[in-house]
Amino acid sequence: MSEEEKLKVHPEPIEKNRRIRASERSYICESIAERAGLKTVGKEKLKIFTFASNEASISELKRKRITLKNCNSDLVITLEALATKTICASKISSPSSRMIELLQNEGFELSDSGASSGRVDILIGNDYLSAVLTGKTHRLNNCLMLYESVFGWTLSGRDGEFNERTVGKESAGLFIRSSNESEENLSEGIRAMWDIESLGICDSEKRECDKQVIERFEVNLKFVDNRYETGLLWKRDAGDLSDNFDLAKRQFNKVRRELKNDTFVKEQLMEVIKYQKEHNII
């Protein structure tokens, strides 16, 4: 869900309301958590790798308990999210007013009103995603898909009205891993992921014999009468190859025995040989 959700954040008990935006992972902006007076239920240390970074920064984040309520109904969900200063600096584009109006006419009430800014205040993760989504979907076309959530229908995909001329190109990368592994091991893992060898882009190792063949070829290569000439790359120190005389002799003796037993074939063969001799074929 990379669109704005119409919902409210409540501490426990429900006393203060704040209108926020929601997205994919279970994080919440510290400013929203402080203004809403959310209760801290624990702390966690995370190793955070930013895009293309080889070193992790260790941060201790407070875990807040949040109650999310649909603005248009009494549906309520309670979850826990880590409070951080900034979730994502890149702004998320909202559906166009024309798209919202068209979908409302079709009976789809979007969770995104398209009214507020594109800043991400909450990221709902996979741990709570199944509680937010109802499982109902509706495909509009090859580019747009609707997913029903407890806060309304969420539009996912590309709106044809947004293109490179009207929307600036923005990208954000975030890699967060919480584990007991050392920073050195994690850094090596990140580096290996971006090495071109991991993508299969690498030079095949040249064997020593291949190098020798190339060197001999270059030494023997000559330019004569506007053309290149080179000698055959005979194998050096090649041993004497055994002949197949014994095998040929056995096959010949086998044919002789068969001809003795089949006089018709023998006579036909003799006629062919006689004809070839008379005409100097053999």
Per-residue pLDDT tens digits for 219-278: 888 888 888 888 887 766 666 667 788 888 999 999 888 888 888 888 898 899 999 999
The whole-number pLDDT of residue 231 equals 82
Q: Above 60 in pLDDT, residue 130?
A: yes
Q: Which two tokens stand for residue 273?
A: 């040989």
The whole-number pLDDT of residue 172 equals 45
Per-residue pLDDT tens digits for 8-56: 555 555 555 555 544 445 788 888 888 888 888 888 887 766 555 567 6
In this predicted model, which residue has the larger pLDDT, 263 or 112? 263
The whole-number pLDDT of residue 225 equals 87
Per-residue pLDDT tens digits for 132-160: 888 888 888 887 888 888 888 888 877 65
The whole-number pLDDT of residue 207 equals 64
Q: How far is CA 258 from CA 16, 247, 263, in A?
A: 107, 17, 9
Nearest to 166 by CA among 96, 99, 108: 96
The whole-number pLDDT of residue 23 equals 44
pLDDT tier at 110, thresholds 50, 70, 90: confident
In this predicted model, which residue has the larger pLDDT, 170 or 192? 192
Nearest to 86 by CA among 35, 32, 49: 32
Q: What is the largest CA-CA distance in the chain?
A: 120
Per-residue pLDDT tens digits for 179-214: 444 555 555 655 665 565 555 555 555 566 778 888
Q: Above 70 in pLDDT, residue 120?
A: yes
State the Cα–Cα distance between residues 99 and 34, nearest whole angstrom.
34
Model confidence pTM above 0.85 = no
In this predicted model, which residue has the larger pLDDT, 2 or 233? 233
State the Cα–Cα distance between residues 167 and 124, nearest whole angstrom.
25
Sequence letter at residue 60:
E
**β partners of residue 82:** 27, 63
Sequence letter at residue 282:
I
H helices of 117-204, in order, are 126-132, 183-194
